A = this chain, B = another copy of it.
Amino acid sequence: MTTQAFTGVMSPVLTPFDNDLKPNGRKLAAFCKQLLAEGCTSLSPFGTNSEANSMSVEERIDLLDQIIDSGIDPKKLMPGTGSCALSDAVRASKHATQRGCGGVMVLPPFYYKNMTDDGFYRFFAEMIQRVGDARMKIYLYHIPPQTIQGISLDLIERLIKAYPTTVVGIKDSSGDWKNTEAMLKRFPGFGIFAGSEDFLLANMRGGGVGCITATGNVNAGMIRALYDTWQSPDADAKQAHISSVRKVIQRHPMIPSMKSLRAAWTNDPAWLNVLPPFLPLTMEQGKALAADVAKLGCKGPELVPAQ
């Protein structure tokens, strides 16, 4: 295991779509800069909350190029490059690595169910060998609520042993703290991110490196403040507070909900656009949500990173 390439508060960046449902790369690049200004330490475009799997590989590659070409340091980027298709995962991972990205986040193949650890191992091993680039740093993406089958502790151990300088971390989006805790105990030094800020404080106390969280898209400042001061006496109070903000945002399905907040804050109805199978919220819903999170101190673009 190597020095941590990533730590802190990361956001799986929401993808802005135009009214024709095509991704808007210029707007995405600007939004990435905005999130870094709001408090994210680094970014994970093309995660679950980016609607990444609802886009083609070409669309994602083009968007990553636009983000990097806009001037964002690729070392701050950990794009999602997983796919059910080995060839797609290889293509996206190779591209991201060649563009200098600090890491890639890789889902297990998620179409077939009841696969074996051996089969999943084979997928990751083939991917690593086919990319064939020692610069690639893989963060595994454990998210059984969507993939159903996750990445077992035994599989993680096997991958770390076989590829110690490549498989360097994981995002645990199981929503199951016991699983994160078991990983922290079994893999000290592995770059373990909580998949939600709800577990940020517990993860830091257990030796984790931060969180990669959907709500980094709308509440990065507050989450970053907890990260920066997690050893201070008021950390538990801060944790409780950011979790209460998350609860309000979760009133609607997360992706349309966060997009409606961005739409309300910027008065830009195009931010409401989501790809199917999601359905967009309305600007009125976004405004109502904005009013409710504002009561908790979450006010969008006005937020600044903690000092």
Binding site for B on A (CB under 8 A): 21, 48, 53-57, 59, 84-88, 91, 108-113, 115-116, 118-120, 122-123, 126, 145-146, 148, 275-279
Contact = CB atoms under 8 A, between A and B. Distances in A.
Nearest to A87: B56
A112 B56 contact: no
Contact of A56 (B57, B108, B113): B57
Given A21-B86, A21-B126, A126-B21, A53 B277 contact: no
A146 B277 contact: no
27 contacts: A21-B86, A21-B126, A48-B111, A53-B85, A54-B86, A54-B109, A55-B85, A55-B87, A56-B57, A56-B85, A56-B91, A59-B85, A59-B87, A86-B275, A109-B276, A110-B110, A110-B111, A111-B146, A112-B146, A113-B146, A116-B279, A118-B279, A119-B279, A122-B276, A122-B279, A123-B276, A123-B277
Contacts of A109: 54, 276-277
A47 B87 CA distance: 18
Given A113-B145, A119-B277, 11 more contacts: A54-B84, A54-B111, A55-B87, A56-B87, A59-B87, A112-B146, A115-B278, A118-B279, A119-B278, A122-B277, A123-B277
Nearest to A122: B276
Contacts of A120: 276-277
